[in-house]
Amino acid sequence: MTSPAEIFARLGGDIVDPPITMPASQPLELSGEAVRARLCVFVNEMGEECALRPDLTLPVALAQAEQGVSGETVKRYAARAFRLPVVPGDALEFTQVGFERYGAPSTAETDAESFALVCEAAEAAGANACDAR
């Protein structure tokens, strides 16, 4: 059986695994204080408030913004992320598998291709079948 990471590999691009820790201000500035309840926050040795990455999208996007985009760029990941549980049984640590596309044409075809890959990956991971028609 094909894994979600293998499905996303069809897009090409680089596999990335950004740092596990980040300044807590980054997710808080972008998502607001409401996200604080889910962040794994701590103070580092220099007194700065830090967080374990709550997802991969934010640190991958921030790294790409620093590099800039010229042409289409794909970044793929299958790495750990961390969120405080909301209900008993929720995992603190989980593996997020996904991709980010930068500089791709903003067309219905590009969106449909991305959606079809996500549906196929979700089905491969055991989610209910998707219909990408």
Rounded to whole angstroms, the maximal C-alpha distance in the chain is 52
Q: Under a CB-based contact definition with an 8 Å cutoff, are residues 59 and 19 in contact?
A: yes
User: In 10 A of CB 113, how many CB atoms?
Assistant: 16
Q: Is the predicted pLDDT of residue 126 greater than 90, yes or no?
A: no
pLDDT at 71: 87
Q: Model confidence over 60-94: pLDDT tens digits?
A: 999 999 988 888 999 999 999 999 998 999 999 99
pLDDT at 131: 55
pLDDT at 19: 95
Helices and strands per DSSP (H, E), number in the chain: 4, 6
Q: Would you list the domain boundaries of the chain?
A: 4-18+55-124
pLDDT at 129: 59
pLDDT at 132: 53
Which residue type occupies 97? V
Q: Under a CB-based contact definition with an 8 Å cutoff, are residues 92 and 85 in contact?
A: yes
pLDDT at 127: 84
Q: Beta 14-15 vs 73-82: how paired, if at all?
A: parallel
Q: Under a CB-based contact definition with an 8 Å cutoff, are residues 38 and 92 in contact?
A: no
Q: Is the predicted pLDDT of residue 119 greater than 70, yes or no?
A: yes
Q: Model confidence over 11-61: pLDDT tens digits?
A: 999 999 999 999 999 999 888 877 888 999 999 999 999 999 999 999 999
